[in-house]
Amino acid sequence: MLITELLPRLEVRLPERGKLDPASLFDTAPRAVWLEIGFGGGEHLAAQAEAHRDLGLIGCEVFENGVARLLGQIARRRLSNIRLFTDDGRRLVEALTAASVERVFILFPDPWPKQRHHKRRILSTGTLDALARIMAEGAELWLATDDGGYFAWMVERVTNHPEFVWLARRPADWRQPPAGWLPTRYEEKAVAAGRVPFYLRARRRGGGAG
């Protein structure tokens, strides 16, 4: 099984002390490292890895079915530039070295729509603080959701954060996916069901620290 044979070779293990340089996880030093938190079935991560074989991509996902689906794609497409973290992505972010990631994807996360559950949302000021530390100057954060309330939540937190600038200049910038976007399976299902996706792209203002 891929879970028992392939995963041990690709799984990221956190250091007992110190920080982890993500570039060191790959056999060949990548041009840059991209991170996807909550990759679902992994189709987006696999497509990005296939389109950018000079990059190193790290995906975080806690659900075994999603991990197994991505492992299947890695094997079929013979992708050598993906590494996996099978726990809460925030633990990995905490462990990474400063200014070591050039792009972060958080695509269609659980919106936790009930107000009493908002504290469970992955996109929070605390998460943005942690991402700002590991993202290089000029690195981009790509967010997407099909929940209008969650999109408003995302916009509020990103625009109020001192280390990020929202790159939208006109409505089309959040109504249409950015250049280079690769669709996700969830996104396609949402559109087929009549739901409207929202896209948010932000840039890290300055270099990471700490």
pTM: 0.94
Q: What is the pLDDT of residue 116?
A: 85
Q: What is the pLDDT of residue 180?
A: 87
Residue 118 lies in a domain: yes
Give pLDDT tens digits for 26-78: 999 999 999 999 999 999 999 999 999 999 999 999 999 999 999 999 999 99
Catalytic residue, from 110, 146, 147, 173: name it: 110
Q: Identify whether 54 is a catalytic site residue.
A: no
Give pLDDT tens digits for 39-52: 999 999 999 999 99
User: Please, which pLDDT band fits residue 209 given cuts at 50, 70 and 90?
Assistant: very low
Here the tokens at position 82 are 């993906």
Full residue range of the structural domain in which residue 27 is found: 2-204
**HSE of 69, CA atoms in CB hemisphere, 13 A:** 16
Residue 209 lies in a domain: no
Residue 126 lies in a domain: yes
Residue 16 lies in a domain: yes
Q: What is the pLDDT of residue 183?
A: 86
User: Please, which pLDDT band fits residue 208 given cuts at 50, 70 and 90?
Assistant: very low
Residue 210 lies in a domain: no
Residue 172 lies in a domain: yes
Q: What is the pLDDT of residue 112?
A: 66
CATH number assigned to the domain comprising residue 88: 3.40.50.150
Which residues are within 8 A (CB) of 71 and not within 5 positions of it... i.e. 6 or more apart? Answer: 2, 3, 6, 7, 10, 84
Residue 85 lies in a domain: yes
**Total count of domains within the chain:** 1
